[in-house]
Amino acid sequence: MDHFNYQNGTLFCEDVDLNTIANKVGTPFYCYSSATLVRHFNVLKDALKFINPLICYAVKANSNVAVLKTLAEEGAGADVVSKGEIMRALKAGIPAQKIVYSGVGKSHADMAFALNTGVLQLNVESLAELHQLNIVAQKLDRTAQVALRVNPDVDGGTHEKIRTGTAEDKFGISWQQIPETLNALKEMSHIELKGLTVHIGSQLTNLAPFKAAFMRIKELFLDIKHQGFPIERIDLGGGLGIAYDPKAPQPPQPEDYGKIIQDVFIDLPADFIIEPGRLIAGNAGIMVSSLIYLKEGEKKNFAIMDAAMNDLMRPALYDAKHALIPIQQSMGDERHLTIADVVGPVCETGDRFAKDVELESPTEGKLYAFRSAGAYGATMSSTYNTRPLIPEVLVKGENFAIIRQRINEEALIKQETMPDWF
Ligand code: LLP
């Protein structure tokens, strides 16, 4: 459930009419609902209360500091993958001891920054990384608290570009390399093994792969503990999928996910961490865009929007489908249906949000919302075609605030400098 609903034919985010925001900031823009973020966080927390995990929200899904602060106030920690994301989490008031630092390629500077910040743990993905981390920690005279990310060789059954759990993928330490890694660890003076972590992919809509991966990690945890390592934590990653199409069968709910975790881990004394991103932010955001014009072609119609693939990349990258709904529903006589491809103005055929969809009365200037755009929307946007980065707006009850200004053409071009040979 989210807080984007029609009131007398007009789409509202909580108690704010989306036309009001569009008039204030112009289109396109992202709009997030605080109540939805908070609700998703707490539904998940409730579903997992029997293990009482530290919920480290995956910052990459939506990293706006105001979004992070909204979640921090509910007690969220952060799962980060860069120095920049650590800086954002700290700015939002998330304590360093609630930050886990993931990622397959941390530089020395990244490691040093994380160690000096005092993050809870670094999730290490290879023996090579572990060696480098030991060197960096030694130089700083610190001990790095680590969790080993293991690759369970389990296919999450999601889109291949967001699958991370098979032996073909670059993520995690393979099962065969674990004994060697543990042996090497014993010799590393500045590393302390605290836990294990696993993350097999994103937008998973089937629970069986989660269960398979969790069972493997439990077995490994017990084995490592038995070997005498003072290991105490299990980080279960993120990955639970959301409904992009409200009419399609619903993916498993947090309670179902909770039951799997309960089944596997009920008898295991350990501290738990989870790293959900999309589940919290995905359906807490929309992207509002206006129809520039309807191009009636020979074979097809094209609804050309003012948003494009650079603003919301998911359809171009993963063939993702984001439901499109009008901000103002048409009434009675004015209603007519047009079949069109919904596209943006960028000079690529891949700049298409939807193919052959039925649009209700598509008139020039009409406002639409792309749903489920709160995760991996703004964070993945670019300035391709020298298009501005679009504003982000956060709603809370009857209030709204611009939480990122439009970054316009002038600001973009200003970053560039002319060589002195001109
Ligand atoms: N933990 C780790 C180590 C991750 O790599 C990710 C996501 C998460 C947690 C959060 O996963 P979530 O709960 O959001 O599924 N851009 C793609 C998604 C990439 C996910 C990358 N890693 C998309 O738009 O679908």
Task: Express each pLDDT in 14-26 by its tens digit.
Answer: 999 999 999 999 9
Is residue 12 a part of any domain in this protein? yes
Residues sharing a CB contact under 8 Å with residue 307, sequence separation 6 or more, in sequence order: 27, 28, 287, 289, 344, 353, 370, 390
CATH number for position 402: 2.40.37.10
CATH number for position 114: 3.20.20.10
For the stretch 262-311, pLDDT in tens is 999 999 999 999 999 999 999 999 999 999 999 998 999 999 999 999 99
Q: Which residue's C-alpha comes closest to atom 9 of ligand 1?
A: 238
* Pocket-testing residue among 55, 60, 170, 283, ligand 1, by greatest number of atoms within 8 A of Cβ: 60
Q: Would you tell me how many other CB atoms lie within 10 Å of the CB of residue 63?
A: 22
Is residue 38 a part of any domain in this protein? no
Q: Is it the case that residue 188 has pLDDT exceeding 80?
A: yes
User: Is the domain of 126 the same as that of 268?
Assistant: yes
* Residues within 6 Å of ligand 1 by CB: 58, 61, 79, 102, 162, 199, 202-203, 237-239, 275-279, 314, 318, 375-376, 380
Angle between helices 254-265 and 208-226 (to 10 degrees): 30
Residue 261 is part of which domain span? 103-274
The residue out of 252, 274, 296 marking a domain boundary is 274
Number of compact structural domains in the chain: 2
Is residue 63 a part of any domain in this protein? no
Of ligand 1's listed atoms, the one at least distance from the Cα of 276 is: 13
The residue out of 224, 254, 274 marking a domain boundary is 274
Looking at the annotation, which residues are catalytic? 347
This prediction has a pTM of 0.97
Q: Is it the case that residue 333 has pLDDT exceeding 70?
A: no
Report how far ligand 1's centroid is from the alpha carbon of 152 (Å). Answer: 17
- pLDDT-derived band at 334 (thresholds 50, 70, 90) equals low
Angle formed at CA 142 by CA 138 and CA 146, multiple of 5 degrees: 95
Please report, rounded to a whole number, the percentage of residues in the chain having pLDDT higher than 90: 91
Taking residues 312-336, what's their average pLDDT?
Answer: 90
* Pocket-testing residue among 81, 202, 207, 312, ligand 1, by greatest number of atoms within 8 A of Cβ: 202
User: Is the domain of 253 the same as that of 323?
Assistant: no
Report how far ligand 1's centroid is from the alpha carbon of 272 (Å). Answer: 18
Q: Is it the case that residue 335 has pLDDT exceeding 80?
A: no
* Amino acid 331: pLDDT: 78
